[in-house]
Amino acid sequence: MTLLFFGAALTPPRMAGFAEPDMADMVWTIAVARLILGPRMNIQAPPNLSFDDFPLLLSAGINDRGGVSPVTPDFVNPEAPWPSIARLERETARAGFQLVERLPVYPEYATASSRWQTAGMAPRVLATMDAEGYAREGRWAPGATALPPPTSPFLNIRADSAVLSRLARMAAAGDRLEAAEIVRLFSARGEDANDILAAAHDLRWKTVGDVVRYVVNRNINYTNISYYHCGFCAFSKGKTHEHLRGHPYDLTHQEIERRAVEAWGRGATEVCIRAASIRTTRARSMSSWCER
């Protein structure tokens, strides 16, 4: 990462008697740094030190605003107040980009935390980042019992809304998307993500209307003995894990039938019979029995 700090000269540095760099100097320095260091380098310039001209920094080549505090002043340069987060969002969007909060560690290092963080730090990084390595918005995560927080309003200016709109139309029409296009849809943020949600809502409404369906079912896990140790389910066990999550079991056909009848008596109309990874002969036996 390259940090480019431009601020008022403090005494007694040897440069205190020199004139302050103007905006042209800042833009030139950032642009040259980008050209020399290449497109993958993170170049940061604080927005408060360029005052009302900070949108120019994006056009010069920065990709990071640095630390912005909504509650404390810049103690190094207290005469330069932070611009509000809302203003940063607005000006960043007008330049064709989205402002996204990151962690103290950059996304490319957060997603490879086992390599770049210590064993004690890596779990904390993983717990506070999203799928792309940026800061998680709130404490909600998939699998949590609490409802996710309501979506925040986003700006209506997007960098590639035309591309995402085209991909959303293709998906809604049933056209096959390439892997990179699917990844692009899943990585949408801000108003782009809201557009995708709206497209999905329209498709659902055109397909099934306003009716939301569900089925009463019962899952019957007829064995917890696994031979492949895939790690997919939480109840499987191998020969060396008999002490974990209860004793190993393998239900008889009669017990499976009893549980299915019990489910029917409680209003279920669907039974899902599944198990850990088992031997092929056992799987064929279960398949033939279910067909009968």
pLDDT tens sequence across 36-65: 999 999 998 888 887 677 778 888 899 998
Q: Which amino acid is at 42?
A: N
Residue 54 and residue 110 in one domain:
no
How many angstroms separate the CA atoms of 171 and 36, rounded? 40
Mean pLDDT over 208-213 rounds to 86
How many angstroms separate the CA atoms of 152 and 141, rounded? 16
In 3D space, the residue among 98, 79, 78, 76 whose CA is nearest the CA of residue 88 turns out to be: 98
How many angstroms separate the CA atoms of 54 and 177, rounded? 39
Say how many domains are in the chain. Answer: 4
Please state the φ and ψ torsions of residue 89, each to the nearest 5 degrees: -60, -45
Residue 139 and residue 183 in one domain:
no
Q: Give the ranges where the chain is alpha helix by DSSP (H).
A: 23-37, 55-60, 85-94, 107-110, 113-116, 122-128, 161-172, 179-186, 190-208, 253-265, 280-291
Beta-carbon contacts of 279 under 8 Å, excluding residues fewer than 6 positions away, are 227
Residue 6 and residue 87 in one domain:
yes
pLDDT digits (tens, 9 = 90+) for 160-185: 577 888 888 898 888 999 999 998 88
Residue 6 and residue 68 in one domain:
yes
| Window from 93-107, 161-175, 193-207, 235-249 with minimum mean pLDDT | 235-249
CB 191 within 8 Å of CB 155? yes
Answer with the one of 165, 193, 210 that is the final residue of a domain.
210
How many angstroms separate the CA atoms of 132 and 109, rounded? 11
Say whether pLDDT at 219 is over 80: yes
Helix pair 190-208, 161-172: axis angle to 10 deg: 20
**Residue 276: burial class (beta carbons within 10 Å; 0-12, 13-18, 19+):** buried
Buried b (16+ CB within 10 A) or exposed e, 72-111: eebeebeebebbeeeebbebbbeeeebbeebbebbbebbb
Residue 6 and residue 86 in one domain:
yes
How many angstroms separate the CA atoms of 130 and 103, rounded? 10
pLDDT digits (tens, 9 = 90+) for 222-241: 887 776 666 566 666 555 56
Which residue in this structure is represented by tokens 């009893």?
A: 258
Residue 56 and residue 7 in one domain:
yes
Residue 255 and residue 287 in one domain:
yes
Q: What domain range includes position 145?
A: 103-150
Residue 46 and residue 112 in one domain:
no
Helix, strand, coil content of the chain in percent (nearest 5): 40, 5, 55
Residue 146 and residue 162 in one domain:
no
Average pLDDT of every residue of the chain:
80
Residue 18 and residue 90 in one domain:
yes
Please state the φ and ψ torsions of residue 138, each to the nearest 5 degrees: 85, 180
DSSP reduced 3-state for 218: strand
